[in-house]
Amino acid sequence: MIRRRLSLLLAGVVLASAFANVFAGMPPEMANKARAQAAAPATAIFAGGCFWCIEADFEKVPGVLSAESGYIGGTTPNPTYESVSAGDTGHAEAIRVTYDPAKVSYAELVEFFWRHVDPTVKDRQFCDEGSQYRTAIFYSGNEQKAVAEASKTTLERSGRFSKVYTQVVPAGEFTVAEDYHQDYYLKNPIKYRYYRTTCGRDARVKEVWKE
């Protein structure tokens, strides 16, 4: 146990030294910004149908710190579950993922997203129909935009699907959903599993991706 602790301590010292050497070669302002970016969590927003399910999927990814269910992409202020579900607001059910960029990259999250949705249908996912269940990647900033667009282009050019309906659009205001929707799969495991199974989500994903 002592030997293991010493090994971990030594590894931490070596890593810290490596980062110090990298930052030492930068102008002070750039180094400070790089340090902040390396230490700070980042966020990503995805719409993949029912937010209970896509939240549950992403919270299992190593490096993801949390996922919040919410609404984005509409025009009506202060959306609620009832108004969004009725299709009256233009919003999509979505999740905001908070992650550690040192452990998982945005590009890896985008690839994970693809393989947990059906991108071949418009304004629906599995048993849920309507634009509120559309698939979309909501990017923040030019770096996320470039990654998301390149990933979609690669998928389209692969010939795997005749058409990819998933949108790649800028992120607007994200409204966190009501508390009872957060971690629904943990709070209501039986109801959640029944819904996910009867909606055919996993079966359809397996059929679409053949993986």
Residue numbers annotated as active site: 50
Structure token pair of residue 86: 């009725």
The strand pairing partners of 42, in sequence order, are 99
Among 106, 13, 12, residue whose Cα is nearest residue 58: 106
Which residues are CB-neighbours of 174 under 8 A, at least 6 positions away?
A: 45, 70, 71, 72, 94, 96, 138
Q: Is 43 helix (H, G, I), strand (E, B) or coil?
A: strand
- How would you class 82 by CB atoms within 10 Å of its CB: exposed for 0-12, middle for 13-18, buried for 19 or more? exposed
Distance CA(129)–CA(139), nearest Å, equals: 24
